[in-house]
Amino acid sequence: MNGKSKEILDELKSVLSGKTIDALFPPLVFVIINGLLGLEVASVISILTAVGFGVRRIFRKQDLKYALGGLLGVLVAVGFAYLSGNASNFFLPKIISGTFMVLLSLGTLLIGKPLAAWLSHLTRGWPMDWFMRKDVKPAYREVTILWTILLAFRLIIQILLFRGRNLSQMFWVNTLMGTPATIIILILSYIYGIWRLQRLEGPGVDEYMQGKEKPWRGQRKGF
For residues 216 and 223, what is the distance between their CA atoms, to the nearest angstrom? 17
pLDDT given at position 15 = 54
Write down the pLDDT at residue 4.
58
Residues 124 and 178 in one domain: yes
> Residues 96, 159: one domain?
yes
Q: Are residues 75 and 100 in the same domain?
A: no
Query: Is 117 a domain residue?
Result: yes
Residue 10 maps to a domain = no
One-letter amino acid for residue 62 of the chain: Q
b/e map of 160-180 (b: 16 or more CB within 10 Å)?
Answer: ebbeeeebeebbebbeebbee
Quick check: 131 and 140 in contact, CB under 8 A? Answer: yes
Last residue of a domain, one of 85, 100, 127: 85
Do 128 and 206 belong together in one domain?
Answer: yes
Q: How many domains does the chain have?
A: 2
Residues 77/31, Cβ–Cβ less than 8 Å? no
Q: What is the pLDDT of residue 8?
A: 63
Q: Which residues fall within 8 angstroms of residue 6, CB to CB, at 6 or more apart?
A: none
pLDDT confidence of residue 18? 44
Look at residue 53 and tell me if it is in a domain: yes
Residue 200 lies in a domain: yes
**Whether residue 72 sits in one domain with residue 97:** no
Is the torsion defined by CA of 172, 173, 174, 180 positive or negative? Answer: positive
81 and 104 in a common domain: no
The pLDDT value given to residue 152:
93
Query: Could you give the count of Cα atoms lying within 13 Å of 154 in the half-sphere of its Cβ?
Result: 27
Whether 219 maps to a domain, the answer reads no
Same domain assignment for residues 47 and 141: no
Is 2 within the bounds of a domain? no
Distances (CA, A) of 203 to 131, 189, 210, 221: 11, 19, 10, 12
Q: So what's the pLDDT on residue 72? A: 76
| 53 plus 80 within the same structural domain | yes
Per-residue pLDDT of the chain (223 residues; tens, 9 = 90+): 555 566 666 665 555 554 556 666 777 777 778 777 777 888 888 888 888 877 877 777 766 666 676 677 778 878 877 777 777 777 778 888 889 999 999 999 999 999 999 989 988 889 999 999 999 999 999 999 999 999 999 899 888 888 877 777 777 777 777 767 777 888 889 999 999 999 999 999 999 999 898 889 989 888 8
Confirm whether 159 is domain-assigned: yes
125 and 140 assigned to the same domain: yes
Instruction: Say if residue 62 is in the same domain as residue 154.
Output: no
Residue finishing a domain among 85, 112, 139: 85
Name the CA dihedral angle for 70, 71, 75, 80, rounded to a multiple of 10 degrees. 10
List the Cα angle 161/165/167 in 5-degree steps.
85
What is the residue range of 190's domain?
91-212
Same domain, 36 and 96: no
Question: pTM here?
Answer: 0.71
221 found inside a domain: no
Q: What is the pLDDT of residue 205?
A: 93
Q: Is the domain of 63 the same as that of 109?
A: no
- Among residues 33, 67, 85, the one where a domain terminates is 85
pLDDT at 175: 73
Please report the pLDDT score of residue 113 as a whole number. Answer: 93
